[in-house]
Structures are given as structure tokens and as C-alpha cells.
Amino acid sequence: MKPKMRLERDTMGEKDVPAEAYYGIQTLRAVENFPISDLRFSRSFIRALGLIKWAAAQVNEELGLLDKNKSKAIVQAAREVVDGKFDREFVVDIFQTGSGTSTNMNANEVIANRAAELLGEPLGGKLIHPNDHINLGQSSNDAIPTVIHVAALELIEKDLIPALTKLQKALAAKANEFDPIVKIGRTHLADATPIRLGQEFSGYARQIALAVRRVQSVRENLSELALGGTAVGTGINTHPEFAKQVIKILSRETGCAFHEAENHFEAQAAKDAVVETSGALKTVAVSLTKIANDIRWLGSGPRCGIAEIMLPDTQPGSSIMPGKVNPVIAESVLMVAAQVIGNDLAVTIGGQAGNFELNVMMPVMAYNLLQSIELLARSAENFTTRCIQGIQADEARNQAMIEQSLAMCTALAPEIGYDAAAKIAKEAFKTGKTVRDVARARKVLPEQRLSELLDPWSMTEPHAGSKKKKSK
């Protein structure tokens, strides 16, 4: 059976729209014009778009521009969009008009039809008009940039920063737990002088602390909203107080300190704050790549790898090798990081599409930016709870590997000279003996001094030959 349809009209003519759809004719045209992908805007974007329409209706009533009954219905309908009740009605592809007008009209039509329904009118009527009432005081050209900033900053504040902070604390806790454990350091993937496992993890903790700082640094520019500029930044067809009052409501509702853009022409023509934010996210992705890679290498084994740490077992790792367990959580982090880095390139190219008074790649920039924030937040949270918090150290293996390292001879160089120390290292490698055994056999130093210099703990702090050793 054919679905029931309703006839709608717009400035370009007539079309049949599914009778039960809350979207209307302009949304349908966009669906037909952009059959490109299955990508749609995320919950965070739709929420922010609904918030703007919700706040706008309240302000337009206060300014005497919107009838009280209509405003009440619009406020309720927009709130339902904010709460996710109409996500299925947002059907327009990401790859659409560069201003995001199609999605703005999608929201306008959904809210208009739902508001009319609340007033007892059938779907498709014009009692509540998508342009005249829902879009009052706005243009897609200032609304969509505002949505991007609101959605991004709210996600950063509520999801990403808490997730990264939790990861940083977990790494710092492991740094403290593992501080007594001395292990071999590695540079160029080759054996280097000893380092404490806690020191290694402290580096990871610091990376994430700096990641939080980098993400926090984008707050100032993301907090500027383009709302109030309407078509080209001049503010045509909007009340002078509209943007200020809407932004006040948005700030109160989200808990983020938004304010009107200092220059509307910049806010609409350029998307530099979005590019900047994506760049910070890319840096976070690079940091996570370093940490996840190190952790999966340190946990490689369990018998034929480095195996200095033991990762939590999460799932069987092979469909053919019984008992095999893989570092799957770390691998998922690496894939997220790759996606975020790829997203950043798309955002960067999108940022170059600011032509005269408008950027015309906003939908794809928004999609990639918000996806990056969400992926990083979820990945960091998962990495913390399913991997970092459960890591254990194999202290005996760490100690055994140190004693086998040729780099132990580094501590001898200040007293016997670089060349003499190198000869010891070469002989140790050739014979399979330890540096300690060769140095003792050659009697290069008194036994007590040799023991002091080759104490692994003393090599993890400044001053060669220091006798200081942390009590366990």
C-alpha cells in the first residue's frame, strides 16, 4: 500500500509530503536533492538547534514580536526537539547546502508542525509558519554557526574535559603506584638507561593534563556566537535585543558562558574557531596515540614480548588461537585517533571555504568536529575504565631486563671514560654477559663503587653515582 500523503506548497510549487511526517516540503526537497550518504547530524547538534529555537520563541514573545499562544506552543515543541523526541524527523544528509539552510528549515518545519498540532491544527498547515514564526529574528547563516559553537562547547565541557580529566587522574595514580619499580628505558626503540615505570607513566599523565589545557583554551573563541548577524552580518530583520537575550538563555541552559560575537562579519564569513578547536582535538588524538601505542607495546607478550606490564583481559583475541588475548582497548583508541586526525583535515579544508560573507562548508565541518569531540570523550573514558585502571606491573621482569641492558655502562662513563665504558658494552654484547659481570672481571673499579654506580635506582635521578635510593 502506498503511504498516505499530504499536499504542501512553497515558493517553488507543490509536492506530496508523507502525511505523518513533521517535516515539510522544504525538507523533502532537500532529501531529494541530496541522496548522498547515510550521514545525519548527531544528537548534540539537533539538541543545540532546538535550544536556539526554544530560546528564540521566548525572547520574541518578550519583545512583543510573537503571539503568546503561538510562543507557548513553539516553546513546548522546540523543547521536545531538544529532548530528542523528533530526532527521526531530521532526515537531511550532511552533504547539502553549505550554509546548512536545509537542516535549519528541517528544524523550523518540525517545530512549526508540532506546535500547530499542540494548538489543534493538522500537520502541514500554516497556523505556525516555519519562516515567519520559528525562524523569526534568525537566518540559517547565523543560526547554524551558533549551533556549531553551542554544541561543541557543551560537549567539551560536559563530556570531553571530564573524560580526559578522569584519564589523567588514572595515569597519575598508576605513576604513583609504579614509582618504586625500576625498568629499562628505550630510545629509538633501543635499550637506554634505566627509568622508573612510575616516571614513564607520569609522562603520560602530563600529556593528558596538557591535553585538557589545550581543549580548555578554545573556550574563549567558541563562546562567541554569530546569532544576531542574520543574512550577512548586518542584523537585518532582527530586533537589536534579540541575540543578547537569546544568548543569555542559552548560557543559563547549557552552563556555558556564551556571548554575542564581537564582529558578526567575522563570525559568519570565517570558521576559524572551529578550525582552532579541531586542531586542539587533533593534538589530543596524537597524545592518545603515543600513550596507547606505548601501553600495548609494554604489555606485549605475555612470554615473547616486552611484557613489563600486564593489561586487563577483556575478550578472547583470536578466532583460531585459543587463549590469545589482545590489547583491543588500546587499539580502539588508536583507531579513534586516526579518525579524529582525518576529521581535522576535512574541517581545515572546510575552513578555507569562507567566501565573502559566508562559509559554505558548515555542515561537514560541524559533523566532523562534533564527531571528534564525542569519539575522544568516549574513547578516553573507555581507555580509563577498561585498560588503565587495571594495569599491573611485572616487577621481576622489569628488574631482569635492566640487568641485561648494555646501556648500564652509561653510569660508568663519568669515572672510567666513554671509550672504556663502550669496550665493556661491546664485550658484554659479544659474550652474552652483563655489563656488571664484564666490569667486575676487568676490575675497572672497586666492588663497592661498581655496585653504587650500577644501582639501577641511582640512574633514574640526576647526578651520576648518587647513592640516594627510594625506600619501598
* Domain assignment present for 118: yes
In a shared domain, residues 170 and 310: yes
Range(s) of the domain holding residue 201: 142-395
In a shared domain, residues 226 and 350: yes
In a shared domain, residues 274 and 422: no
Q: What is the mean pLDDT of residues 269-294?
A: 98
* Domain assignment present for 303: yes
Contact, 51 vs 82, CB < 8 A?
A: yes
In a shared domain, residues 155 and 258: yes
* Domain assignment present for 466: no
At 466 the pLDDT is: 46
Q: Where a domain ends, among 117, 136, 155?
A: 136
CATH number assigned to the domain comprising residue 68:
1.10.275.10
Contact, 221 vs 276, CB < 8 A?
A: yes
At 471 the pLDDT is: 40
Bridging pattern class, strands 358-359 and 354-355: antiparallel
Domain count for the chain, please give it: 3
* Domain assignment present for 206: yes
At 469 the pLDDT is: 45
DSSP assignment string, 119-155: TTPPTT-SSS-IIIIITTT--HHHHHHHHHHHHHHHH
pLDDT band at 82 (very low <50, low <70, confident <90, very high): very high
At 308 the pLDDT is: 97
Pick the more confident residue, 216 or 465.
216
Q: Taking 80 as the threshold, does the pLDDT of residue 425 lie above it?
A: yes
The string over 37-68, giving b where at least 16 C-beta atoms fall within 10 Å of a residue's C-beta and e elsewhere, is eeebbbebbbbbbbbbbbbbbbbbbeeebbee
Spatial separation of the C-alpha atoms in residues 174 and 178, rounded to whole Å: 6
* Domain assignment present for 442: yes
pLDDT band at 363 (very low <50, low <70, confident <90, very high): very high
Q: Taking 60 as the threshold, does the pLDDT of residue 195 lie above it?
A: yes
Contact, 371 vs 364, CB < 8 A?
A: no
CATH number assigned to the domain comprising residue 258:
1.20.200.10
At 470 the pLDDT is: 46
In a shared domain, residues 167 and 121: no
Q: Where a domain ends, among 136, 166, 190?
A: 136
Contact, 77 vs 39, CB < 8 A?
A: no
* Domain assignment present for 371: yes
In a shared domain, residues 251 and 369: yes
Q: Which three cell numbers stand for residue 146?
A: 551558533
Spatial separation of the C-alpha atoms in residues 49 and 419, rounded to whole Å: 69
In a shared domain, residues 155 and 129: no
Spatial separation of the C-alpha atoms in residues 52 and 249, rounded to whole Å: 9
Mean pLDDT (the chain, rounded): 96
Q: Taking 90 as the threshold, does the pLDDT of residue 472 lie above it?
A: no
**Which residues contact residue 188 at a Cβ distance below 8 angstroms, ignoring those fewer than 6 apart?**
none
In a shared domain, residues 172 and 262: yes
Q: Where a domain ends, among 115, 136, 157?
A: 136
**Which residues contact residue 65 at a Cβ distance below 8 angstroms, ignoring those fewer than 6 apart?**
136, 137, 239
In a shared domain, residues 98 and 178: no
* Domain assignment present for 468: no
CATH number assigned to the domain comprising residue 445:
1.10.40.30
Which amino acid type is present at position 428? A
At 1 the pLDDT is: 75
In a shared domain, residues 292 and 244: yes
pLDDT band at 230 (very low <50, low <70, confident <90, very high): very high
In a shared domain, residues 323 and 420: no
* Domain assignment present for 342: yes
In a shared domain, residues 359 and 384: yes
Catalytic residues: 188, 318
